[in-house]
Structure 1
Amino acid sequence: MANKITLQTRQLVVEPQGLDKIWSLRKKVVVPYQHILSATVNSEISRASRGWRVLGTSIPGYYYAGTFKNQGMLNFYNIKAGRTVIVIKLQHEKYHSLVLEVKNPQALVAQINQQIKQ
């Protein structure tokens, strides 16, 4: 599993696991729930253009980890191509979105969306 997601009382914490922490150049990303606009499951975004790699690792067609700039916005990726991932849209944060490979994406998206409604 590429990412550990922890739903705390007031914030979401993303921690790349194992070597993904090194390849993404991020130990963790912490986002308050009030800065999350939505969370969705997406099986196509891993094939879409990520833009320019700013920090991290890119193995075209296989693995993307780190900060990517697309249309003037920074996005954090930690995915392998062709996998179903979650996309967390943000506001008032460094990143416009977090694109993450996780275990049980549908269940996690439901939990995140429940938290941001509260």
Structure 2
Amino acid sequence: MALISVDRERGLLTAELQGLDKLWALKSRLEIPLAHVRGATHDPGMAREPKGIRTGGTYVPGVITAGRFRRDGERSFWDVKNPDKAVVIELADAGAYDRLVLEVDDPRATVALIEQAIAHR
């Protein structure tokens, strides 16, 4: 699971991976400039979409998807065990990733936080 926070002063969206997710994803923290965040949606169905080729991390179908994946030239970062809590964050010109798919405790609140942050940048 990831904890999402927004630092408006520094203009950053931060995803802090929790517990063993750090191990599975081979990453503990992501920092994305708010200027590169296009939007966020609560999308439980995303977990059923093809992930592409895993370039680092862990993938056990139906159990955990964590780490970096590449599909049709698109780079994504995943940290999902429970698809019902999946939030998709679309990025533009973000460098390492085009999309983040993260499991969060409260998907609706997380989407609202991100949408509010990008509306006021």
Question: Which has the higher mean CA deviation after the structures are superposed, 31-40 or 76-85?
Answer: 76-85
Q: If the length of structure 2 is used for normalisation, what is the TM-score?
A: 0.92
* Residues 82, 33 of structure 1: alpha-carbon distance in 2 compared, 3 angstrom cutoff: closer
Q: Which runs of 5+ in 1 are unaligned?
A: none
Matches within 5 A, 1:75-94: 75-80=76-81, 82-93=83-94, 94=96
Matches within 5 A, 1:5-84: 5-9=4-8, 10-80=11-81, 82-84=83-85
Q: Between the two proteins, what is the percent identity of the paired residues?
A: 37
Q: Which runs of 5+ in 2 are unaligned?
A: none
Letter of the structure 2 residue corresponding to residue 74 of structure 1: R
CA contact (8 A) 2:87 2:102 kept: yes
CA contact (8 A) 2:83 2:103 kept: no
Letter of the structure 2 residue corresponding to residue 4 of structure 1: L
CA contact (8 A) 1:43 1:85 kept: yes
Output the aligned Cα RMSD. Answer: 1.1
Shift of 1:61: 2.0
Q: Deviations for 1:33-60, whole angstroms, at most 9, x for unmatched residues?
A: 1100011110100111111110000011
The residue aligned with 2:102 is 100
Report the number of matched residues.
Answer: 117
* Residues 82, 113 of structure 1: alpha-carbon distance in 2 compared, 3 angstrom cutoff: closer
Q: Hey, what's the Cα distance between the residues in 2 that align with 1:115 and 1:77?
A: 22
